[in-house]
Amino acid sequence: MKHEQQQCNEVVKHGMMREEGLFLCLFFRPLFLLLLLHSLLFTPTLTLHHNSLLSDKAALLAFRNSIILDPTSALANWIHPVHVCNFTGVACDRHRHRVSKLTLIDLGLVGNISPFLSNLTGLRILEIANNDLFGGIPSELFSLQNLRRLRLSSNGLEGPIPSSLASLSKLTVISLMLNKLNGTVPASFFSNCTSLHNVDLSNNFLTGRIPEEIGNCPNLWNLNIYNNQFNGELPLSLTNTSLYNLDVEYNHLSGELPSTLIENLPAISFLHLSNNDMVSHGGNTNLEPFIMSLRNCSSLEELELAGMGLGGRLPDSIGYLGVNFSVLSLQENQIFGSIPPSLAQLSKLAGLNLTSNLLNGTIPADISKLSKLEQLFLSHNLFTSGIPEALGEIQHLGLLDLSHNQLSGEIPESIGNLSQMNYLFLNNNFLSGTIPSALGKCTGLYKLDLSFNMLSGSIPQEIIGLQEIRIFINLSHNNLQGILPIELSKLKNVQEIDFSSNNLTGSIFPQISSCIALRFINFSMNSLQGHLPDSLGELENLESFDISKNKMSGMIPASLGKLQSLAYLNLSFNNFEGMIPREGFFKSSTPLSFMNNPLLCGTIPGIRSCSGERNRFQSPLFLTIFILIICISSFLTTLCCGIAWLHLRAIISVRNSESSRRSKMPDFTHNFPRITSRQLSEATGGFDEQRLIGSGSYGRVFRGVLPDRTTVAVKVLHTQSGNSTKSFNRECEVLKRIRHRNLIRIITACSVPDFKALVLPYMENGSLDRHLYQHSPASLASGSSDLSLIQRVNICSDIAEGMAYLHHHSPVRVIHCDLKPSNVLLKDDMTALVSDFGISRLMTPGIGSGAAAENMGKSTASMFTGSIGYIAPEYGFGSSASMEGDVYSFGVLVLEMVTRKRPIDDMFVEGLNLHKWVKSHYYSRVEKVVDSSLQRDSRDQSPEMKKMWEVAIRELIELGLLCTQQSPSTRPTMLDAADDLNRLKRYLNDGDTTTTFASSLGISSSTLGDDCNYSPQIAIDRNI
């Protein structure tokens, strides 16, 4: 090559233009240059690319090693012989030089995100979503400078968002939703975000304010941060963005509705602000300024302002929203007045929800002009007059909910024109007249509820023939008459039928077995006659059947005993006769299912024996054999006793010394008085319904009077269920071991194979639930409780003392597992007693709270650990019953005492719960969550008493919030709770000054302030 190059140079040097020289110069020089470039560049590049792939492969294998794999794992081909670009979920760039994409979605991966992923420097897309990753987000990911899309959503990631992610300047999408991230969003994250389009941090535990620096993202069009704990106001800098969707629901954002911000976001299409702490203008009295600000948002499609207690009238300007406006959600506010006629101008409105407000007047007929309307919610308001006929003109209406109003008049025939109707709720009104047969034209109905009205006449055959009703039909609590229509048998898909509390006649026809999906039947409190058909045994899915308080007669079909799913049967107050079947459900049934059927007989305790059985036992042969056996047994018993006595005298001295030692130990056996099931039946008047004082999932409680005139409460267990028997055994085990002034004591128990009952002291004041939510019509209307603040504090203190004993001082520690107001009883002096230990767990002393060691094996290992609303969140993830779980239930109960809101109240939907609702008002408008009857009690008090009242309310709320924290390790013990409540009780009962009480809590009086409110910082320091 050198020779040819020299020749070429010589040709050029001497100006040789011969053909051969020209050829050499033109051919060899380019070839030389190509070879030179190859030697300098190409060979090292191949080596570099090879090394990069090796580095990428090593990074991926390190990630795999941080994952808990199983034999069927999707990462099974992540092994050395396989080329890295062929790994599952891995994609390389066009030339297969670097890994450019890692997508692992919904693969069930469990483990950490390895920081070695930061070595994938060619990565553009990183998506590891819908798995079970835990731990933190590695800060080393800042090395992925080419990353465009980061999606780690739907995992269990914890800790803060690393501030180092701010260096990912090319990032366009970041989704960290549905994790357990906490802390604040670093302001630096938005310092260099000109490429950022989409941010989704929803469903985490992020706190603090939304950084003002978010305005540095001019191309940001989607911001989802709902279901977090952000506070403060929405930053005005958002006006510098290009927001199309803004969803900040379920946070603690405050201030007035952001009218200035919204009017400067003309491209906004979806605006979701629900369940925050915002107020309307003019001190929460005027919605007009905010609605007017939306007139600039011509693209607006959805507006959601639910669950904020917004006050004011619905302004006329609501009708001037954009032409594309389709969803308006204003439920659970304090909007009053009538619906403005201008609402009918929203021609594309598909969903309108005004549930749970203070709206009154009539439902405007102009709503019929909303021709695109699909869902109309107007329930729980104060609407009067009739249902407009014009509603039948909304052809696309699929859901109509007008329940819980004061509507009167007849149901319009025009409702039958709504051929697309799936859900119709007109219950709890004052509707009268007959059920229009035209409803039979709504052939797509899934749910129909006309209950609790004043409807009369017969049930139209056209309605019962709606074969598409597949969930429930409820016509109960009306004045319906006529025979039970046979067309009912056409409802092959219906799951629940409730026609109770009417005046229906006729019989139950055999064709009812055609309703093969039926799970629930309630025909009680009618005038039905005839026999129960044997075909009932063909309803294989039937769980509950109530035909009580009718005029039924004949034998009970034995076919009902074949139903394995049957869990509840009520045939009481009828005229059934003959022997009660013995198979299936009837093996474990109780007299409660058959009360006031005097002609029934059987082997169930409390039910008279059948005559054939008595004759068999009274025959001469049987009596002869019985007497002979008794005589022989007596002789053998006497002989054995004599021998045993001689042997006993030989060891009595040893027993005496051992007895002396045992006398120092707790005695867990007691000589309870003996009582038979017949005596209990007589004491309760045959378990008369008039003496029923309570019922639950495992049994019913009756008031009874023993022969010695002692008034008792008799808890009769439903022995149909195996769990009820376990519950009985468990409650006996617990009650014979515990003794405390704040725990219910047992008088005696009765246990035979088919009947089990506990005899407990009778509490004239009933349960705490009864006093919180008084059940008489008058008290329900007043919406009040008779418990004063001092009584509530004393009751909470009593409960805490009883629970602290169970957890820390009882000879065998007990986890209650079902603490709630209905399981707290009140003595004559209002002392609270914790009761109902049917699903409790026993722990041996010294065992940690998280590992409840069962002393009775696994008899209740699969039993449900509590009642809905009171169950600790960790139980939902498979955690064992623990003392921390009881603390959570106690915290819910404390919050319930302050708010008089059940944790399963209808307002707690879509992620909102009692803890979040109270906490959202804790720092600012705490009076919004306090029971109105408590507030009324404080109005006429002296300034000093008001200060004491406010301090006590704050302390109760703070204790409730502490006890209901998500993490079990951050909750106090019941000893701590009992100690705090004891101090609070002394403070209220002794009339201490604010300074004295504050010092007892370790808080200076200056911290409490003039209005006795804790500062937010104190609450944060105490981990609220």
Annotated binding site: 715
At which residue do the structure tokens 């950022």 appear? 196
CA–CA gap between residue 878 and residue 865 (Å, rounded): 11
Q: Residue type for 512, please?
A: I
Which residues are part of a known binding site for ATP? 715
Residue for token digits 């009864």?
A: 770
SS3 content of the chain, % helix, strand, coil (to 5): 35, 15, 45
CA 886 vs CA 295, 817, 865, 882, 913: distances in Å = 51, 6, 10, 7, 18
For 990-996, which contacts have Cβ atoms below 8 Å and span 24 or more sequence positions?
991/948, 994/947, 994/948, 994/951
- The CA distance from 462 to 441, in Å, is 8
Buried b (16+ CB within 10 A) or exposed e, 965-998: beebeebbbbbbbbbbbebbbebbeeebebeebb
Contact (CB, 8 A) for 299 and 274: no
Rounded to the nearest 10 degrees, how much is the dihedral formed by the CA atoms of 993, 999, 1002, 1006?
Answer: 70
- Partnered with residue 183 across adjacent β-strands are 206
Alpha carbon distance 1010, 1008 (integer Å): 7
Quickly list DSSP for 225-255: --SSEEEEPPPGGGGGS--SEEE--SSEE-S
Look at strands 245-247 and 222-224 and give their pairing. Answer: parallel
DSSP string of 858-918? TTTTTS--S-TTTS-GGGGGTPPP-HHHHHHHHHHHHHHHHH---TT-TT--TT--HHHHH
Q: Which helix (H) or strand (E) holds 921?
A: helix 914-922
As beta bridge partners, residue 887 has: none
Sheet holding 205-208, edge to edge: 67-68, 110-111, 132-135, 156-159, 180-184, 205-208, 229-232, 252-253
137: three-class secondary structure by DSSP: coil
Task: Please state, in angstroms and as integers, the Cα–Cα distance from residue 737 to each residue in 28, 349, 872, following that order.
Answer: 104, 64, 26
Secondary structure of residue 431 in the 3-state scheme: strand
Length of the chain: 1024
Beta-sheet strands, E only, within 306-422: 311-313, 327-329, 334-337, 351-353, 358-361, 375-377, 382-383, 399-401, 408-409
Cβ–Cβ < 8 Å for 235, 264 = no
Q: Which amino acid makes up residue 542?
A: L
CA angle 432, 433, 437 (to 5 degrees): 125
Angle separating helix axes 883-899 and 789-804, nearest 10 degrees: 170
Give the distance from CA 572 to its chain's centroid. Answer: 34
Sheet order of strands, 334-337 included:
311-313, 334-337, 358-361, 382-383
818 is catalytic: yes
User: Of the residues 754, 818, 886, 980, which is catalytic?
Assistant: 818
**CB-CB contact of 191 with 167 (8 Å):** no
| Residues 544 and 519: beta-carbon distance below 8 Å | yes
Number of Cβ atoms within 10 Å of the Cβ of 634 = 10
CA quadruple 666, 671, 676, 679: dihedral sign: negative
Rounded distance between C-alpha atoms, residue 337 and residue 312, angstroms: 8
Catalytic residues: 818
